[in-house]
Structure 1
Amino acid sequence: MSQQIELTVGGLLDDIAGRFPDNEALVYVERGLRYSYREFNERCRQVAKGLLRMGVKKGDHLSIWAYNVPEWVVLQFATAKIGAVLVTVNTSYKSAELEYILNQSDSGTLFLVRSFKDTDYVETLGNVVPELAGSRPGELVSAKLPFLKNVVFIGEETPAGMLNFEQIVELGLEVPDEELAAVERTLSWHDVINMQYTSGTTGFPKGVMLTHFNVVNNGFNIGECMRFTEKDRLCIPVPFFHCFGCVLGVMACVTHGSTMVPVEIFDPLKVLQAIEKERCTAVHGVPTMFIAELEHPRFAEFDLSSLRSGIMAGSNCPIEVMRRVIRDMHAGEITIAYGQTESSPVITQTRTDDPLELKVSTVGKVLPNVELKIIDIETGAELPPGKQGELCTRGYLVMKGYYKMPEETAKAIDADGWLHTGDL
């Protein structure tokens, strides 16, 4: 078995920034924004210190409701550096879902952008928290959301009752480095730092608690399956609020010193432009995203010869689509991944040298340091190869549990530590 990484998410970034300080960490093509790993780490540290000055403590829950803006990635590491838990909110949520998530997660702070597609986030939040517009920033008292005290706006022209993200950055200047270092010394890689909500098949959405250890090791092994190095550049058009973006994308890159090239809102033309301009070596997406890119009327204009790998996941890939991704997009080492949020998320992944037929007919091999078994859904007995049953997994990838749902957690993770996926 290969070595497991015993680092916090913040400690990992410190390590990578020390090893590859001048390597590009984050590139936003349309914004003209470029951070080296040294600059990105410093930005994350400053925001972490700003959060401390705001009164955020280890274990506090902060929600983010935004598409793939730069602040999202910064917050992923800034919150981890102080041991706060980042709660990721689906960009498609409306008032009822937003209220449920903020309430169930006990979020004390919400970060949000102005809008996404046809949803005005500021108006939607106002429907849930009518007290916001008349409150002083940082002093919110809400009848429906008693935990929520701070709302932080990402963007220009801050609405009433909110702080602005740049104010958090400025607050960080007031906090000495030693104060942040003292907090970091109290952290364990087994602490929860990420919560994502999964609806599953029944009942209310459940908050999946993921630890530093979960996402660092899963991200590393995902990157290993794509043969990532510090020379790789990954185009990330999949959403950060989902593990596909924040683990298969962000953590796979940062564990290898690779470059992240996010696309803020999926648009096939912007993906093609980003790949060509930044000479991306890998791209992620669900099959419909790859189809939209391949069938774009301007597809033939773009030089995608830098592409090598990436991940296609989320649903079955038709063999003809896979053929075209390999032939026309030059991604000959594209991989398929399978998992679920509760397994942080990838359980199995094809390898870069697997033949085409295996890539479209299987979900690959189990990741390193992960156990897998198939059980009879009636008896629980382990089944031999070739028999259909429920897939169970065990190892560093298993979630800590569902937030405030001990009975649901006990149903999902048995006494021997096996996660029961519910998948046959």
Structure 2
Amino acid sequence: MLKLSHHIFRLAATGLACAAALTAAPTQASSYFAVLPLQGANASQAERPVKMALAGAVPPPATVGVPYEFDLGVLLSLDGPEGTEPGKVTWSVVSGELPAGLELVGNEVVGTPTELVAVRQVVIQAEYASGYSTAGTIASYSFAVPEAPIVDFGGYRAWADGSYAQSCEGYIRSGSESYPYRGAVGDGVYRISLAETAMDVYCDQTTDSGGWTLLMKQAKGDGATLQGDTTYWENGTVLNDEAHGRSMADGNFVSAAFAALPVAGFRLQAANEAGKKFRANGVSTTGMMAFSDTARLEYTDPVGTWAPSAPQWFIHTYYYPNGAKITSARFGFNFAEMIGDPRYAICAARWGWSSDEGSAASPPGSHDSCGGLGGYGSRYGTDTMANNKGAWQPATLYLWGR
């Protein structure tokens, strides 16, 4: 009715103008047009319908405990009159239910999943603002919250969603059903995250219940590079912490994890021994702290209460390289014999041996030679060791933490 009245008014006005022209003086005529309702492509903008379509897609899988976001807006196409915009679209779930922890907020599915879901089919509808000629559009999407098994990303392993455990043990015993120890498992290089810093480490996931991180290895026949008073022990300086070093191959290696990874205990392994040595820390600490001078056991009496023991691990010998008989030998963790100047160690090791060549006629004196992992001291590598710091390093030594 409004449009019809409008056209009647324009025609009436035109008639008045014609009547006036018959009586008035001749003059230049104005242009007037009759506006009639038109159909189809020439309809006014307000009469055009808004055409909408939602494209199909496969939303990425979500992970329990990890914030999730999926944008439906990029899947929507709009075709309408001038002023048509995505902000005037309303969204709703018309069928199905999103996984627990997720919700539809505007055009986005967001939230943090709280449970595993194999596949959840959800129908979502997009409608344009009221007052426009449109039927809206719907589409079905499948949301899933699967477990994240371990996969090989080429050079390192991690969980399938790209997240990392905090240690080798964290991959085996994550404490979450969403992150199982399944898939590309076993010994090898894994990526861990410490204080939001990612690093690659070599993991022993098969022996002694697994979960061991390789912190250091000392090369066969080399007792000098990782000598116990070097920067590797004192500052945690890394050494060969690259792909070739992160392995069981012979060589010297210090992982960044030695100074950064808190562990509850250590394991010492020799390539020529079936047995291993273990050390519980009592509290979690880094290797650098546990092997520091402030944590070192110092003694002045080589006999004392620290009972001597036959060299039945790693060295398997009763004689020095120079032929002298060993009469007292001890195995210890981060120890040093301090005789004379208290600032200097006579014989020390970060985890290894000290020994003496005394006899019954010549009672045992100072333990003046030492070997194992990180040997050092004023008598380290001297005459009883044939002036060779590598004399008591017959095999690769591996230091692990868990």
Same fold (TM over 0.5): no
Q: Which has the higher helix share?
A: 1
Q: Return the TM-score normalized by structure 1.
A: 0.17
Q: Which has the higher strand share?
A: 2
Q: Return the TM-score normalized by structure 2.
A: 0.18
Q: Considering only CA atoms, is the larger Rg found in Structure 1 or Structure 2? A: 2
